[in-house]
Amino acid sequence: MKYNTSLPDDTVNVSKQSPLLDLLWMLGGLFIGITFLYFTFGIAIEYGVKNISTEREIKLFSFLQPEHNSTQTPSKELLTLRTLLDNSKACQKSPYSFAVNIAEDKSVNAFALPGGTIVFNRGLLDNVHSENELFFVLAHEIGHYKNRDHLEGIGRAFTAMIIGNMLGFSDVSDILNSAMALSESHFSQTQEGEADIYAVELMQCYYHHVSGATKFFEHLPKDDSFSLYSSHPDIEKRIHNIEQYIKKRGYTANKELRSF
């Protein structure tokens, strides 16, 4: 038997495929897959969630309720918000028992989370000058619950959260918050308008006048591109619609505002 000296063939065991091209293909596939999941699951969950009863919703999303930390004294703003909520309970006529929470976020925004938790961003509180304005925002969010707008986009938000978790982004609450902010920005003009009108009615019931209803919009920083309220192109239209509605109902709007 003769021994033949030979060198290993480089091309047999190692594929000559370009790794960058391979990466591009896989990332593309992943992107398409995730987009598909996001929409199919998101819409399916949403369909189911939009049709559940309020009681079930509260039970299902109880994990979103803010934890009551007894050792830490709540901030002045949080106490004001809680008082406003409690005192206006008779006017709300809502099956939810609302809770408020403050998020340390600079953007001017507030969300209505499923289950009855209303989250105010610090940026919004900094831009509010009177209790009446704050109550308008609070009432506006309650109006979203009234029309069940807050469940809009929740399926997609949750799918985003799950996918994010799967891909290894561990900070779930962060993802949920940004996903919620995303879904919030998708509220239609009609939905916002209806919530505004509900807010006006709630103000009338609570204060017996509607002064300061549109004041909040006037204080918004003009350059804040992250703020959903100020970046709204139809903000003027919203103010106009609110004023029109107040006129039509004959509510008084020139009383003194309570300080905050």
Backbone angles phi, psi at 168, to 5 degrees: 100, 10
Supply the Cα-derived Rg of the chain in whole angstroms. 25
> Is residue 250 within the footprint of another protein (CB under 8 A)?
no
Closest to another protein by CB, 23 vs 79, is: 23
Residues between 153 and 192 that touch another protein (CB under 8 A): 168
Q: Provide the greatest CA pair distance for the chain.
A: 111
* Cα(51)–Cα(102) distance, integer angstroms: 29
The interface with another protein within residues 219-238 (CB under 8 A) comprises none
CB 82 within 8 A of CB 114: no
Helix axes 189-207, 131-146, angle to 10 degrees: 120
Q: How far is the CB of 13 from another protein (least distance, A)?
A: 5
Q: Which is nearer to another protein, 7 or 90 (CB)?
A: 7
Give the C-alpha separation, 200 to 196, whole Å.
6
Q: Which is nearer to another protein, 18 or 73 (CB)?
A: 18
- The residue (of 20 and 90) whose beta carbon lies closer to another protein is 20
By CB under 8 A, the residues from 28 to 47 that bind another protein are 29-30, 33
Identity of the residue, 90 or 167, whose beta carbon is nearer to another protein in the bound complex = 167
Smallest gap from residue 26 Cβ to another protein (A): 4
Site membership for another protein, residue 7 (CB under 8 A): yes
Give the contact letters, 110-149, x = binds to another protein (CB under 8 A), - = no.
----------------------------------------
8 binds another protein (CB under 8 A): yes
Backbone angles phi and psi of 127, in degrees to 5: -100, 5
How far apart CA 60 and CA 113 sit, in angstroms, is: 12
How far apart CA 235 and CA 24 sit, in angstroms, is 42
**98 near 142, Cβ under 8 Å?**
yes
| Residues 124 and 108: beta-carbon distance below 8 Å | yes
Q: Is 22 in the site for another protein (CB under 8 A)?
A: yes
Name the residues that contact another protein, by CB under 8 A. 1, 3, 5-8, 10, 13-15, 17, 19-20, 22-23, 26-27, 29-30, 33, 168
